[in-house]
Structure 1
Amino acid sequence: MPKRKGGGYRAPKHYLPRDAKPSKHRPGGAGGAGRFDRDRRDASDGIDGSAPGTGLGTARDRGRPAPARDARDTPRRDKRGTPRRDERGTPRNVESRNVRSDGPRDGTTEGRLRVGNVVGQPSPRRGRPDDVVPERLEATAITPELAEGVTFEDLGFGVRIVEALASLGATAPFPIQVATIPDALAGRDVLARGRTGSGKTIAFGSAIVERLLVTRPREERGKRVVGRPPRGLIIAPTRELALQIDRTVRPIARSVGLFTTQVYGGVPQQRQVGGLRRGVDIVIGTPGRIEDLHRQGHLDLSSIEVTVLDEADLMCDLGFLDSMQRILRIVRRGGQRMLFSATLDAAVRSLVAEFLVHPAVHEVAGEASDHADIEHRVLVVERGDRDAVLRQLAAAGGRVLVFARTKLGAEQLAQRLDDGGVPAIALHGDLSQERRSRNLEKFANGRADVLVATDVAARGIHVDDIDLVIQADAPDEYKTYLHRAGRTGRAGRRGTVVTLIPPNRQRRMAELLGRAEVDAPVVPARAGGRELDEFAR
């Protein structure tokens, strides 16, 4: 075999100790230990300045100075003499971005609110699960007494908006409306925590219409200006909820000459693009479709004056936190923001800290506790009796909403109820938009008394007279329990929440109820048992 012209391999001297000797593998220095015969390096290697097991020695042994490791040393520099890191240790090639600003907005001296586990305080439970302890807000408590004797005229609405609200069945304001509407009409940012069915939609829907009416030129009222960018934006987690919000806000807006449209995924966007081109005042949509239309140039967000986030906690749970942050950074700086949420977890707190300026904070009193209009029960059922107990509960009469954990589970459970003589329909994300709308309309109109739904799909249900909520699959988090329970006991009506659990889940369920501050008796149950007779209507 011919020799290489460059000669043999010569190992770099700085990798070898001074007493290295030639070997058959490395003519110029010590042979390296094989894969199986090299010394094992344990956790104490290198602590005392040695490097046992490596055969290499330390940097000082190799005749080179050890690199500076002290935090007080000057940072290393590149070839141009520029420090690789700044004084805070941030790499120079990484551009730091301010996630939030404490500076003034539109010439004001107001700074941004810092939010922790208690609004206005740092969280003492960093690193712990969000659902460990119910959050506490430094908020104005909203009690039923707050709305006694108050009318919508007293809140600052004109005759047309009051008449539109009356046509929707809202003849007198709910407590959350009395608390939040004056702050919203004054232009303040609003943070409100209230369960589903507390009247949030009318609260922010009527307020955004009144705010945009005041700032719109009088000569443009009642007219569509082709290509006019929207000035109001309402973001919702699901298309069903977006449609429901539009059904509430549209008649209020039309009563004063404003126009709305909705944008959401799951359907072709051509019709939605056409609605935007005709010119609208308020856009109601889901985060994904809003971002898509903005990216394509169909939706101009630069003129947005008022932004509303409804069900903010659910949007975070669905993975829309980044999308909401991007949208809020695009809309006009200095605009008004309103955030409504049933719970205030870490993700929602991050939105509050970055985008709300000294918000008016309101919390419906007793939201996390045993609500006076809702009775809670937990039934311990053997797995073999689950379907029979569920059929007996669902057939007891009244309008019943059953929660299942998965889309497949909801479909199968509805089918088993139907096969067992209890007519039921399903509502979940795998259904087409047409079928989802049809099933939801059947349940809302009373043509179907039993609806089996997933948590996400149920957010689009706006039915005030649900008598019984059955959790066929127990929730994993306390906030999910509160969201589900909020589907009954609405608009002053009474309701019942029944949760079915197997015997081995009693301890976990007790912990969840404690976090939700719900007092619910836990009793064993079986099909045909007397403990189920009281649910018959």
Structure 2
Amino acid sequence: MPKNKKPAGGRPSQNFDPRYAKKRAGGPFRGNDGGARGPRRDEGAGRYDRADRPARDGDRRFDRTERPRYDRADRPARDGDRRFDRTERPRYDRTERPARDGERRFDRDQRPSRDGERRFDRTERPRYDRAERPARDGERRYDRPARPARDGERPFGRDDRPRYDRNERPRFSREGERRSFDRDERPARAERPRAEGERRWEERRQERPVRTQAAEDRIDVVHERLEAQAVQADEVSEMTFADLGLGDNIVRALAALGAEKPFPIQASTAASIIDGRDVLARGRTGSGKTIAFGAPLVEKVLRAKAGVKRDFGRAPVALIMAPTRELALQIDRTVQALARSVGLFTTQVYGGVPQGRQVGALKKGVDIVIGTPGRIGDLHRQGKLDLSQVSVSVLDEADHMCELGFLEPVQEILRQTAEGGQKLLFSATLDREVAALVDEFLVAPQVYEVAGETQETGTIEHRILVVEHRSKPEILDQLVAREGKTLVFTRTRAYAEMLAEQFDDAGVDAISLHGDLNQAKRTRNIDRFSKGRARVLVATDVAARGIHVDDVDLVIQADAPDEYKTYLHRAGRTGRAGRTGRVVTLIPRQRRRRMTEMLERAEIEAPFDDVRPGDDLLDELAGAPTVADLTA
């Protein structure tokens, strides 16, 4: 075996070195090998063993087990010997022995006090009072009222001196004179003489540059700048989907979805979409915008693929983008039913879930892709989504997509689509956020809006409740204690979870919906609310757009929104497709003015009511609204 190699389970390799083997064989005192390795230790030669030799006189062996143990208790005590058994000997007590000369005992109470000695028993001695002893030379006492005040000195006895009155002191002005703080007595600012170099606020406001008309147009909505074509509802009241140029299969699929006749926004945009024009449309939330672009889109794709063989792994020709996953799934439920009726295929592409199934669907080949900009951009950069054949692109809730920071991703995606493709922008509000998209991608767009379609003229009743913060939980419990479906909006995710637990404790079936939940749970909670297994859905603004649930007749805004567009989208969760609904907003007293300005911006008229827990108005608002309530 090689040197320094350790065998399995053996000792170091030196045991197997021949040199060591010879050394071991010839060395003394090693085993019984017939004398070849030296004499045995029992043959006379070997180690020195003290146990084998006889003990000498006085020799003390070290085998302690054989000799008796030395015990001090067994031997007699010597003269003056002090044993260490403290339990047997009397306890040493200093008080029993006589005190030595000059010894100081520690029992002060028993010994007489020495001359001038000061004992530490404070209860018996009189309390030391500085006022009773005579003052030393130059000593300064702290009892100031006792001594007479010096000339010009201000005494520290506040009760004796006159109270300081601010109104009695002279007035101080810019010229240096003293003034009082009584505002009623001093003249108004406009009446007092102007100081040198002073500029009044009215003059500064007049000198401020006036905003140009172009800036005013940009701050206002884009569709007004592009001269929108207003569609009157009575003009399309007798039209059908067949009159808009849709095929029979699509018409039957729309009827199965509950759409018998087109809404104004649907009737106005269908012809332009089928003809291939760019469209910019605004319609109230719940007015049917998904069908407005979904049905003509399916019809256009069907006509483009007429007579073309549908190959396996084909690239999509239409793309629909939405700002949130919930809205993308909502759009897919409508568009998928229309596409399947004519043999087209759709797929959803959104984040928050593994992309394996989405990539598998794209490999098989689809005609229409519906998703969010983030995941669409990721799959395109990975080379798993081909956008070069997309000829029709739809942006639903385009303004909200830009608000969430998707402007640049959307621009990058649209630049990858086929050159000269059709672009469709739909939203409840179209303002300055989409101006960059309109200027870059839309060519001579057809702009539509429904004339007079505002929230207060629709089928929604708006009420503003002014409440105290401490009574807010009780008021919310009273509002949600009802039979119908209720949607409650909050500003934060934590408050949504807290309200859901609060309603559960009050005996109301409630679930939450916010961004901290994974996609599977968010979809499951929406499904539970849609099917009526939960009566209350507490959600953040993630549910403000794209969540379509039938029969939601009450929307409660536990936290008032910060802008009017959010208010419109929240309110649009009720009163959909011509149904009645009610929106109740809770605000503190300090927010009343800001709420009034927001309602004016949204063109909504709503009464303000001061309420407390137990008021009859709360029970009235918890009931389902009727047409009579809306017209009252």
The TM-score, its normalising length taken from structure 2, stands at 0.63
1:478 to 564, 567, 576: 564
Q: Which AA in structure 2 matches 1:533?
A: D
Worse overlay, 283-292 or 160-169: 160-169
Distance in 1 separating the partners of 2:558 and 2:340: 41
Offset at 1:170?
Answer: 1.2
Partner SS, residue 552 of structure 2? coil
Go from structure 1 to structure 2 and tell me whether the alpha carbon gap of 1:293 and 1:255 turns closer, same or farther (over 3 Å shift).
same
Partner of 1:510: 596
Worse overlay, 466-475 or 392-401: 392-401
Offset at 1:345?
Answer: 2.2
Partner SS, residue 216 of structure 2? coil
1:167 to 238, 256, 268: 256
Partner of 1:307: 393
The answer (yes or no) to whether the contact 1:135–1:344 under 8 Å persists in 2 is no
Distance in 1 separating the partners of 2:620 and 2:242: 43
1:429-440 equivalence runs, <5 A: 429-440=515-526
Offset at 1:395?
Answer: 1.2
The answer (yes or no) to whether the contact 2:462–2:584 under 8 Å persists in 1 is yes
The answer to whether 1:344 aligns with 2:463 is no
The answer (yes or no) to whether the contact 1:235–1:285 under 8 Å persists in 2 is yes
1:530 to 609, 616, 626: 616
Q: Which AA in structure 1 matches 2:351?
A: G
The answer to whether 1:322 aligns with 2:408 is yes
Distance in 2 separating the partners of 1:374 and 1:474: 17
1:408 to 494, 497, 501: 494
Offset at 1:139?
Answer: 1.1
Q: Deviations over 1:397-423 (max 9, x none)?
A: 311111011112211111112112222
The answer (yes or no) to whether the contact 1:236–1:242 under 8 Å persists in 2 is yes
Partner of 1:139: 228
The answer to whether 1:423 aligns with 2:509 is yes
Distance in 1 separating the partners of 2:250 and 2:509: 40
Q: Which has the higher contact order (CA 8 A, sep 6+)?
A: 1
Q: Deviations over 1:314-369 (max 9, x none)?
A: 11121111111111111111011100011122111221121111111111233444
The answer (yes or no) to whether the contact 1:157–1:210 under 8 Å persists in 2 is yes
Go from structure 1 to structure 2 and tell me whether the alpha carbon gap of 1:154 and 1:217 turns closer, same or farther (over 3 Å shift).
closer
Distance in 2 separating the partners of 1:215 and 1:423: 49
The answer (yes or no) to whether the contact 1:380–1:501 under 8 Å persists in 2 is yes
1:16-31 equivalence runs, <5 A: none
Q: Which AA in structure 2 matches 1:122?
A: A
The answer (yes or no) to whether the contact 1:142–1:364 under 8 Å persists in 2 is yes
The answer (yes or no) to whether the contact 1:464–1:491 under 8 Å persists in 2 is no
Distance in 2 separating the partners of 1:406 and 1:194: 28
1:206 to 286, 295, 302: 295
Q: Which AA in structure 1 matches 2:268?
A: A
Q: Which AA in structure 2 matches 1:396?
A: R
The answer (yes or no) to whether the contact 2:500–2:510 under 8 Å persists in 1 is yes
Q: Deviations over 1:460-489 (max 9, x none)?
A: 411132101111000000111111111111
The answer to whether 1:376 aligns with 2:467 is no
Offset at 1:219?
Answer: 4.2
Structure 1 moving runs of 4+ over 3 Å: 133-137, 366-369
Distance in 2 separating the partners of 1:349 and 1:522: 36
2:214 to 116, 122, 126: 122
Worse overlay, 379-388 or 188-197: 188-197
Offset at 1:432?
Answer: 1.5
Q: Which AA in structure 1 matches 2:291?
A: I
1:248-327 equivalence runs, <5 A: 248-327=334-413
Count of residue pairs brought into register by the alignment: 413
1:215-226 equivalence runs, <5 A: 215-220=304-309, 223=310, 225-226=311-312
The answer (yes or no) to whether the contact 2:545–2:570 under 8 Å persists in 1 is no
Q: Which AA in structure 1 matches 2:215?
A: S
The answer (yes or no) to whether the contact 2:471–2:612 under 8 Å persists in 1 is yes
1:149 to 228, 238, 256: 238
Over alpha carbons, which structure has the higher Rg?
2
Offset at 1:263?
Answer: 0.3
Offset at 1:372?
Answer: 2.6
Q: Which AA in structure 1 matches 2:214?
A: P
Task: Give the unaligned 5+ runs of structure 2.
Answer: 1-210, 624-632
Q: Which AA in structure 2 matches 1:209?
A: V
2:283 to 194, 209, 213: 194
Go from structure 1 to structure 2 and tell me whether the alpha carbon gap of 1:135 and 1:401 turns closer, same or farther (over 3 Å shift).
farther
Q: Deviations over 1:10-32 (max 9, x none)?
A: xxxxxxxxxxxxxxxxxxxxxxx
The answer (yes or no) to whether the contact 1:135–1:345 under 8 Å persists in 2 is no
Q: Which AA in structure 2 matches 1:469?
A: V
Offset at 1:141?
Answer: 1.8
Offset at 1:290?
Answer: 0.3
Q: Which AA in structure 1 matches 2:282?
A: R
The answer (yes or no) to whether the contact 1:146–1:178 under 8 Å persists in 2 is no
RMSD of equivalent CA atoms:
2.0
Q: Which AA in structure 1 matches 2:342?
A: V
Q: Which AA in structure 2 matches 1:508?
A: R
Distance in 2 separating the partners of 1:367 and 1:476: 23
